[in-house]
Amino acid sequence: MSVHGSLHLAWRYIGHHRMRTMLLALSLGLTMALPLLVRGMVRIAQSEFRSRAEATPLMLGAKGSALELTLNALYFRRHGVETFPAGQVNVLRATGLAKVIPLHVHFHSQEAPIVGTSLDYFSFRNLRIADGRMMTRLGDCVVGARLARARGLHPGGFLYSSPEQVFDLAGVYPLKMRITGVLEDSHTADDDTVFADVKTTWLIAGIAHGHEDVVKNPDQSSVLEKRADHVAVTNAVRMFTEVTNENFGNFHFHGDPDSFPLTAIICVPEDLKSQAILMGRHLNPADGTQLIRPTEQMDALLTVLFQARRLALVLLVFLGGAVFLIAALVLTLSFKMRRREFATLEEIGVARDTLAMVKSFEVLFVSAASGAIVLFVMEMMEIWGASLLQMSLR
């Protein structure tokens, strides 16, 4: 029998036992892909972490975990970081040593982080509007490209902030935010984010609110006390959950703006000398803040990742060896169970070397299917690896 005949017999057998062949190929393919997947994800993490951290020279935040502060400001991780007074923005600006970009990352809209910041953030990250326009007033927001595609968002639509506690009856109402624009793809964490002015996030926090005009309101049943300079009302006063052109003037803040919360401030020094001066002034601050270099925190995190990778690769080598031994056992038992089939083929004139060629082709087909699975997994990692990594940090 020719090579073509051997190939035909092997292919017919593989096709007749599709399920068994698929399970065997999946087992081998995924086992071979795991070490490559671990190495690839660590490589993506190294590239992603380093590039975003290197683009952010300095960062100010409350004393505590410097890594949590870095993840909050770079990847919008909402938990594990304390707030500090917004007055630090004016303190830093008064030095004239750096551009200052405030961040308030605490709320979300169906798990998409809502980031309160200033317009300087968009030029700092080179973010451009692909559709619509930039936010212009309280209650406006722009959304990342990937988030817009996933939810079908577009300029003129609306997003609601999600309550922090589902059954918090005393909490603030979800804010209905107007979408004014969709950002271009940046292939970073910004693509999955809702951006608003920092005052809008304070509005979500309940520091500001808007309600009907109790002075001009004809329904006086909600008024407890009315004087020339003061009006006391009950909870029956209707609170606004959306900022519109008509009610914009009815929104107001309570308290000193310098005491309102921020989670981080990105500092972009004018030059290396300015950076050194800022770092020197914040070596031992007495105001409960810390000034950090994000690259140092990411280097520490990557060191841990490399150590974990080495351990994982050792374990995966043992796992791979076990799977290959099991696969060899399965193929050996399969050939042994087919002894009568091979004996029949010999009786009709098929040479033993031809039968050996049939077995080799079967092994080759399984190996090729396993290799295709490895290539598919690696391709999916290249496409979705960075996005999955960013989502895991939230």
Pair (89, 183) in one structural domain: yes
> Rounded distance, CA 145 to CA 384, Å?
15
pTM higher than 0.95? no
Most confident of 73-82, 93-102, 225-234: 93-102
| Of residues 259 and 385, more confidently modeled | 259
Q: Which range, of 96-105, 116-125, 199-208, 376-385, averages the lowest pLDDT?
A: 376-385
Task: Decide if pLDDT at 171 tops 60.
Answer: no
What does each C-alpha distance from 250 to 210, 231, 256, 343 come to in angstroms?
Answer: 5, 15, 18, 92
**Average pLDDT, rounded, for the chain:** 79
Pair (259, 123) in one structural domain: yes
Within-domain flag for 249: no
| Parent domain of 363 | 3-48+302-392
Residue 263 is predicted with a pLDDT of 95
The type of residue at 154 is H
Average pLDDT over residues 247-263: 80
| Of residues 214 and 74, more confidently modeled | 74
> Rounded distance, CA 259 to CA 84, Å?
8
Task: Decide if pLDDT at 228 tops 70.
Answer: no
Task: Decide if pLDDT at 179 tops 90.
Answer: yes
Phi, psi (degrees; rounded to nearest 5) at 292: -125, 160
Dihedral sign, CA of 301, 303, 304, 309? positive
Residue 377 is predicted with a pLDDT of 83
Task: Decide if pLDDT at 217 tops 60.
Answer: no
Residue 51 is predicted with a pLDDT of 84
SS3 282: coil
Pair (89, 145) in one structural domain: yes
Q: Which residues contact 345 (CB under 8 A, 6 or more apart)?
A: 355
| Of residues 178 and 327, more confidently modeled | 178
Within-domain flag for 248: no
SS3 88: helix
Average pLDDT over residues 206-217: 60
Residue 52 is predicted with a pLDDT of 87
Structure tokens at 189: 């964490």
Within-domain flag for 387: yes
Pair (81, 161) in one structural domain: yes
Task: Decide if pLDDT at 223 tops 60.
Answer: no
Residue 166 is predicted with a pLDDT of 55
246, 273, 292 — which closes off a domain? 292
Task: Decide if pLDDT at 102 tops 50.
Answer: yes
| Of residues 103 and 206, more confidently modeled | 103
Pair (87, 131) in one structural domain: yes
Residue 281 is predicted with a pLDDT of 81
Pair (313, 357) in one structural domain: yes
269, 292, 315 — which closes off a domain? 292
Alpha helices (H) along the chain: 3-16, 18-54, 66-75, 87-95, 120-124, 145-151, 198-204, 272-281, 294-337, 339-347, 352-392
For residue 38, how many C-alpha atoms fall within 13 Å in the half-sphere facing its CB?
18
Pair (88, 195) in one structural domain: yes
Within-domain flag for 236: no
Average pLDDT over residues 278-296: 83
Segment 19-74, tens digit of pLDDT: 877 887 887 788 778 777 877 777 777 777 788 888 899 999 998 888 899 989 99
Pair (88, 177) in one structural domain: yes
Q: Please report, rounded to a whole number, the percentage of residues in the chain having pLDDT higher than 70.
A: 79
Residue 231 is predicted with a pLDDT of 47
Task: Decide if pLDDT at 142 tops 90.
Answer: yes
Count the domains in the chain.
2
Residue identified by tokens 């895991």 is 392
Residue 121 is predicted with a pLDDT of 95
Within-domain flag for 272: yes
Segment 337-387, tens digit of pLDDT: 777 776 776 677 666 667 777 777 777 888 888 888 888 888 887 777 767
Within-domain flag for 239: no
271, 292, 313 — which closes off a domain? 292
